[in-house]
Structure 1
Amino acid sequence: MAEVKPEELKMIKESKLYYPDSEKVKKSVLGSMDAFNALLRRSWEDPEGFWADVASDLYWIKPWEKVMEGKMPYFKFFVGGVTNPCYNLIDRHLEQGADNKLALIWEGEDYQTKFYTYRMLYSEVCKFANVLKDFGLQKGDRVAIFLPNLAETVVAVLACYRLGVLFNTVFSGFSVRALRDRLINYEPQVIVTADGGYRRGREVPLKSKVDEAIEGMESIQAVVVVKRTGSEINMKEGRDYWWHELMAKARLECPPEAMEANEPGLVFYTSGTTGKPKGIVHSSVAFVVNNYIYAKFHMDHHPNDMFWCTADIGWLTMHIWGIVGALSNGVTTIFYEGALDYPRPDRFYQIIDKYRVNKLFTAPTAIRMLMRYGESWMETYDISCLDVLSVVGEPFNPEAWHWAYEKLGQKRMYINNTWGQTETAGCPLAGAAWVTPMKPGSCGIQFLGAQLDVVDEDGKPVPPETPGNLIITRPIPMMVRTLWREPERYIREYFSQVEGCYFTNDAAIKDRDGHYWVTGRIDDVFNVAGHRLSTMEMESAIIECEGVAEAAVIGVPDPIKGLIPVAFVTLRQGYEAGSEMEQAIKHKVIENIGKIAVPGTIYFTPVMPKTPSGKIMRRLLKEIVVGGEIKGDITGLEDIGTVEQVKAIVAAKKTQG
């Protein structure tokens, strides 16, 4: 169980509720706190009736026979109900006369822009769906998408939804090795990529990475390439095709594929506790139903909203909020390609002012970055349009919360700090914008239909204000259904710890107001700037470096990124520590995973604190780096003297700066 510092517990106990402005409450989707509280109670006491009402807002080809069936780990929602996800994200709005309403705005890092109405987006999606059909793809087949935040990325995702083709988006910043590992496990038939992308003014090669990653892969039938940078790339005849050439010949209409609510729709890879990425399988239709209602209330979505999710398409956050949550609610969604502070720290404010963004979804890391730059960068822009800010990805410290509330929002903005995982899809801990009271730093309450608890090591509930393990005791439609080709691991990873419950591997505290505070991970996975990384995945990369005998990676607090990786490395005999070895290690991590996983600091140590069985006690390493002292139990160490040796090495490096 993750340790909670006394000052953190004191802060939680003394936290106060911030009640939303009464006039804003009246203008919210539900119009009153009482109405939302009644809906919340119904969702817990009558979940079948609640979910039936939610699903009835959407279009169905065939109604469901049963709302809920089974329990964790095997459960279903809207059993027998048939519809199509893409139809509910686009066609449904066209039927209501939204043809000329703006659906998607794309802005590149180089200031290029594209605009799509719902009718225009419909046409592009139908054309690319026909492209995929012409490759022979049908329901249940697989597409991998290795693209940055382009308009074509949204089109590709929606086309897969339209055909019932499973899709997987891979973060475009990943290395060839990380991409290949995922593709080998997933075995896609078609890959969608680009010649390159832009990041901080530099061109990022994408097609060349794909060429290397798919070498020898027999499942690949075609690679579709978006022309973004215009750079010269290798195009293999009979396998590689230009997006624009295929689209120019594609048919304008494509009927949506009928899908049962629980059929798989997307496979999303996330770092696992064993280091091997896990393929999280989500349903298609049930995923849409759940995130439709969650986004509506988390963001207080109204038809004329201008919504911006700053996440990369390689993270599920963008799918939940920027695509499904936004389009199911019929709002305008913004896709931005580049870094939020490039070419200057005011790019973030520039976009908000330019498009009059009133609903914003980002990561605490982004807020802390803006804090670091200071308020002067926002002074030349009118960002008074901001109405709701929601965040997810890592703990949102109260200092950053107050800065966002007072400086970014001028005390006129609702802040919704949420909690969710790739496995949970949306956020079962959150507030309802402009309805529920806020608490700086808390993740809000257990949301509509969700039931969570905080338990001890034996799975028994702990009293309020007591640290414990966060579990989910009742399934919701959008939750993970299995792991891709690893059904046994699905049970072992999530359901072997507390019978009948989903084990989040997060530590949490529930306060006396019913607000939850997620305090950190209890396994070896942690978030770096909102990106979930496995310590074992990073350690494996470091050990591949010539001369490295052993490695241990921990996550330590960082004022901007929340956590950053720090590595302890033991070298083989005959190899020397120094800047050359540090660079070799960092290069190997970039090669295997990507720049996001590069250690902020590398400590070379001849010893590691270990148990008699040889397990490295990473908890002690973290205590040494963060506090300089060991407060936890060390009786389980094989050699207590190793602690002092490591402490001296850390202190010496810190002294050197």
Structure 2
Amino acid sequence: MSSTDTLSTLLAEPLLPWPEQWRVAEQAALLAQAREIERVGGPDAYWEWVAKKFRWMRPWDSVRDGNFPEFKYFAGGMLNVCDNCVDRYAEDPYYASRPAITWEGEPGDCATLSYAQLRTATARFANGLRSLGVGQGDVVAIYLPNMLESFVAIQACNRIGAIYTVLFAGFSADAAALRLQTSRAKVLVTADASYRRGKQVPLLENARKARRSAPKLEHIVVIDRTGAAPALHDGETGYKELVDAQSDDCPCVPLEANAPAFLIFTSGTESKPKGVVHSVVGFLLGTWANVQWQVGPAKDDVYWCAADVGWLTFPIQAVIGGLAHGASLVCYEGALDTPGKDRFYQIANRHHVTKILIAPTALRMLRALGDEVAKANRIDGLRLITTQGEPLDPETYHWTSDTLGDQLPIVNAYGQTETGSTWTYPVYGVEPLKAGSCGTPVPGHAYRVLLEDGSIAPVGTKGALVLTAPFPTLARTVWDDHQRYLNTYFGRYPGVYNTSDEAVVDSTGQLWVLGRGDDVINVAAHRLSTMEIESVVASQPGIADAAVVGVSDAVKGTVPVAFVTLVAGAPVEATVGQICAAVSDAIGTIARLEHVFVCKALPKTRAGKTVRRLLREIVETGEAKSDLTGIEDLEVVGNLIREVAARKRP
């Protein structure tokens, strides 16, 4: 069987109408209205329709000026993101006392902020930042785990026009320092420590080390997370003391629509972090639309974005997009399987969660923990699982739908750090579902799949995924390096935005994103997609999680190897044999796996992404020499090195 045959089998998943019991008439009507506006007036008319849902301080002069790669939206218009996410709800009698954020820490402590309380907290902290010399355009770095203060800090920056950048709480001192240097952050907001897998992560200690290499950093604001009351050094201020000394009165600053609001560093392999910049209005409008179509928030929903604040998904779905809808959000600090296998389910049930966003790898982790755990902790009232960040294999889709609910809808969405939102998926409550696919573009977005020569790829044929029209949420530049922005995203295919991902469109018009274009390996002069091989491996019985990478080979140039974790009770040798046979049968002997490494866990970032470069490095060198700062659990790395060495030993 050829590689094309395998892809055809994958694309042949049935297209299913949205389950009748989950259909939402109001969402269908709203989507019909949006699509009709776009049909008649084009994407700009649609984005103007979205813009009119917000409170503006000055109307815009034009909807859009320019085109790729230089464009603006709503030029001349002035508004404030915090005003639209917090104040307008705090002023509404229905929303004022409604929970905005319900927080749970890994040790089990809980707290809640209503919209009125969130408004007071953001105003006080915004005044606190001003007292430290922060003004419009200054950069504030937020080096925090998932905490109530993460929401407060981001919205306080929005309130006064400071540019915020969020650093993973799992970053080492060196990784944090590099981003502080690059962003020229004036203030860093952190905690004395955070809790992760039963341990304390020394955030303040890391921040102090990082500060030595960040000469522009003037102040560190320290939240006492653990109750240890750490002694503060010169240039450090206690969060509680700072906010207690401030007034509740802090008017929202009018900001021009295209002013920079949010700086986020991509997690690529380049030595220098690449900070992409999102605009004030673009990010607000795009994230509102993203949550509307992907999650379909209703007044009785409790929405849990089970991701880390350092992953762009969290600001999109929770801090900006979620609050822009007046949603009631759940925020959890720690690991989803700590201290026990049922923690994920406990959180969802304790806080009456109705909709959850979670990464595909986290779903595979839940599957590996066992069906019996899921069935014993059924989440009452769950209406949706939505996922993004990595390709979702059909096997995980079906397990999630069948095990976590009865035909529970699974919305699989695709986007990038640079796009500032996901832009293709089945609209919640309305559009048909297909296991593993990313649906079709939501209003305001257009794409093509191109062959190497720039022509449009036929149906069923893989190609480069590009976006053919601008939209407000797309990043406008790379921090301090606009030429890098132009070269990276517009150099390969002039006039369109290059995602650098491979994709294919099936006969029903559904888009399948297969992974990075550079995840294609040459085996004896044959081009093979590691994601395609991985899909075959992941679909085999007994596999809980899988990753396939290409490693150097003296004869063939590159060969594929697989890393797998098994469900409880799966026989190791029989499963390995089954995997190898399945890959050869499905794709051909040219794709034969050189090794299958059975391991306890794969190395993940806190965003739930498998770090494939690290797998490749361990196989080729027997060591982990590259950057480990974003790894969720460093013990996994040591275990992998030993497991790979044992498997390769004659």
Partner residue of 1:405 out of 401, 404, 419: 401
Partner residue of 2:443 out of 445, 448, 452: 448
What is the aligned partner in structure 2 of residue 71 from structure 1? 67
What is the aligned partner in structure 2 of residue 109 from structure 1? 106
Q: Secondary structure at the match of 1:523?
A: helix
Letter paired with 2:233: K
Whether the aligned pair in 2 keeps the contact of 1:345 and 1:373 (CA below 8 Å) is yes
Figure out how many residues of one structure are paired with residues of the other and give that number: 572
Whether the aligned pair in 1 keeps the contact of 2:135 and 2:161 (CA below 8 Å) is yes
What is the aligned partner in structure 2 of residue 470 from structure 1? 465
Alignment CA distance shift 1:380-1:323 (3 Å): same
Partner residue of 1:10 out of 5, 8, 11: 8
Alignment CA distance shift 1:569-1:198 (3 Å): closer
Alignment CA distance shift 1:553-1:295 (3 Å): farther
Task: Report whether the alignment pairs 1:504 with 2:542.
Answer: no
Equivalents in 1 of 2:74, 2:330: separation in Å?
Answer: 31
Whether the aligned pair in 2 keeps the contact of 1:93 and 1:99 (CA below 8 Å) is yes
Equivalents in 2 of 1:95, 1:232: separation in Å?
Answer: 35
Whether the aligned pair in 2 keeps the contact of 1:566 and 1:602 (CA below 8 Å) is no
Task: Report whether the alignment pairs 1:420 with 2:415.
Answer: yes
Whether the aligned pair in 1 keeps the contact of 2:27 and 2:429 (CA below 8 Å) is no
Equivalents in 1 of 2:313, 2:15: separation in Å?
Answer: 27
Q: Secondary structure at the match of 1:30?
A: helix
Letter paired with 1:213: A
Give the C-alpha shift of residue 218 in structure 1.
Answer: 2.1
Alignment CA distance shift 1:179-1:524 (3 Å): farther
Q: Secondary structure at the match of 2:401?
A: helix
Superposed, which structure 2 residues align to 1:455-494 within 5 Å?
A: 455-494=450-489
Equivalents in 2 of 1:457, 1:487: separation in Å?
Answer: 26
Superposed, which structure 2 residues align to 1:580-599 within 5 Å?
A: 585-586=623-624, 589-590=627-628, 595=633, 598=637
Equivalents in 2 of 1:325, 1:180: separation in Å?
Answer: 29
Task: Report whether the alignment pairs 1:392 with 2:388.
Answer: yes
What is the aligned partner in structure 2 of residue 377 from structure 1? 373
Task: Report whether the alignment pairs 1:567 with 2:616.
Answer: yes
Whether the aligned pair in 2 keeps the contact of 1:86 and 1:161 (CA below 8 Å) is yes
Tell me the alpha carbon deviations over residues 457-478 of structure 1, each in whole angstroms, 9 at most, x when there is no partner: 1222111110001001111110
Superposed, which structure 2 residues align to 1:237-276 within 5 Å?
A: 237=234, 239-272=235-268, 274-276=270-272
Equivalents in 2 of 1:558, 1:29: separation in Å?
Answer: 43
Task: Report whether the alignment pairs 1:224 with 2:224.
Answer: no
Give the C-alpha shift of residue 178 in structure 1.
Answer: 1.3
What is the aligned partner in structure 2 of residue 162 from structure 1? 159
Alignment CA distance shift 1:486-1:230 (3 Å): same
Equivalents in 2 of 1:398, 1:592: separation in Å?
Answer: 28
TM-score by length of 1: 0.82
Tell me the alpha carbon deviations over residues 239-279 of structure 1, each in whole angstroms, 9 at most, x when there is no partner: 00110111111111210010111110010001345332210
Give the C-alpha shift of residue 29 in structure 1.
Answer: 3.2
Equivalents in 1 of 2:250, 2:457: separation in Å?
Answer: 53
Equivalents in 2 of 1:503, 1:554: separation in Å?
Answer: 26
Alignment CA distance shift 1:232-1:49 (3 Å): closer
Letter paired with 1:452: Y
Give the C-alpha shift of residue 653 in structure 1.
Answer: 5.5
Give the C-alpha shift of residue 120 in structure 1.
Answer: 0.4
Tell me the alpha carbon deviations over residues 154-212 of structure 1, each in whole angstroms, 9 at most, x when there is no partner: 10011001111001010011122211111111110000001001011111100010111
What is the aligned partner in structure 2 of residue 51 from structure 1? 47
Q: Which moved more, 1:198-207 or 1:372-381?
A: 372-381
Alignment CA distance shift 1:513-1:275 (3 Å): farther
Superposed, which structure 2 residues align to 1:173-192 within 5 Å?
A: 173-192=170-189
What is the aligned partner in structure 1 of residue 144 from structure 2? 147
Task: Report whether the alignment pairs 1:365 with 2:361.
Answer: yes
Equivalents in 1 of 2:159, 2:420: separation in Å?
Answer: 20
Give the C-alpha shift of residue 30 in structure 1.
Answer: 2.5
What is the aligned partner in structure 2 of residue 619 from structure 1? none
Task: Report whether the alignment pairs 1:285 with 2:270.
Answer: no
Task: Report whether the alignment pairs 1:61 with 2:57.
Answer: yes
What is the aligned partner in structure 2 of residue 613 from structure 1? none
Give the C-alpha shift of residue 232 in structure 1.
Answer: 6.7
TM-score by length of 2: 0.83
Task: Report whether the alignment pairs 1:342 with 2:338.
Answer: yes
Q: Which moved more, 1:507-516 or 1:126-135?
A: 507-516
Partner residue of 1:435 out of 430, 433, 445: 430
RMSD: 2.9
Equivalents in 2 of 1:299, 1:505: separation in Å?
Answer: 27
Equivalents in 2 of 1:200, 1:109: separation in Å?
Answer: 8
Superposed, which structure 2 residues align to 1:521-540 within 5 Å?
A: 521-523=516-518
Q: Secondary structure at the match of 1:192?
A: strand
Tell me the alpha carbon deviations over residues 289-311 of structure 1, each in whole angstroms, 9 at most, x when there is no partner: 11112211210111221000011
Alignment CA distance shift 1:406-1:461 (3 Å): same
Letter paired with 2:257: A
Alignment CA distance shift 1:39-1:386 (3 Å): same
Give the C-alpha shift of residue 31 in structure 1.
Answer: 3.8
Equivalents in 1 of 2:396, 2:631: separation in Å?
Answer: 29
Tell me the alpha carbon deviations over residues 359-382 of structure 1, each in whole angstroms, 9 at most, x when there is no partner: 111100111111111122133434
Equivalents in 1 of 2:129, 2:559: separation in Å?
Answer: 42
Whether the aligned pair in 1 keeps the contact of 2:19 and 2:409 (CA below 8 Å) is no
Alignment CA distance shift 1:216-1:446 (3 Å): closer
Equivalents in 1 of 2:103, 2:629: separation in Å?
Answer: 30
Alignment CA distance shift 1:190-1:354 (3 Å): same
Task: Report whether the alignment pairs 1:205 with 2:202.
Answer: yes
Aligned-pair identity in percent equals 35
Whether the aligned pair in 2 keeps the contact of 1:352 and 1:383 (CA below 8 Å) is yes
Partner residue of 2:294 out of 292, 298, 301: 298
Equivalents in 2 of 1:285, 1:122: separation in Å?
Answer: 20
Letter paired with 1:474: A
What is the aligned partner in structure 2 of residue 654 from structure 1? 647
Alignment CA distance shift 1:557-1:74 (3 Å): farther
Equivalents in 1 of 2:271, 2:638: separation in Å?
Answer: 17
Equivalents in 2 of 1:153, 1:405: separation in Å?
Answer: 32
Tell me the alpha carbon deviations over residues 456-502 of structure 1, each in whole angstroms, 9 at most, x when there is no partner: 11222111110001001111110110000011100111100111111
Whether the aligned pair in 1 keeps the contact of 2:384 and 2:409 (CA below 8 Å) is yes
Equivalents in 1 of 2:639, 2:469: separation in Å?
Answer: 39
What is the aligned partner in structure 2 of residue 637 from structure 1? none
Equivalents in 2 of 1:431, 1:370: separation in Å?
Answer: 24
Give the C-alpha shift of residue 23 in structure 1.
Answer: 5.1
Whether the aligned pair in 1 keeps the contact of 2:22 and 2:383 (CA below 8 Å) is no
Tell me the alpha carbon deviations over residues 303-350 of structure 1, each in whole angstroms, 9 at most, x when there is no partner: 221000011111111000011121111110111000001111101011
Letter paired with 1:24: W
Alignment CA distance shift 1:589-1:269 (3 Å): closer
Whether the aligned pair in 2 keeps the contact of 1:566 and 1:599 (CA below 8 Å) is no
Alignment CA distance shift 1:159-1:558 (3 Å): farther
What is the aligned partner in structure 2 of residue 133 from structure 1? 130
Alignment CA distance shift 1:568-1:343 (3 Å): closer
Equivalents in 1 of 2:470, 2:356: separation in Å?
Answer: 28
Equivalents in 2 of 1:36, 1:223: separation in Å?
Answer: 45
Task: Report whether the alignment pairs 1:332 with 2:328.
Answer: yes
Alignment CA distance shift 1:223-1:208 (3 Å): same
Letter paired with 2:170: G
Letter paired with 1:218: P
Whether the aligned pair in 1 keeps the contact of 2:286 and 2:420 (CA below 8 Å) is no
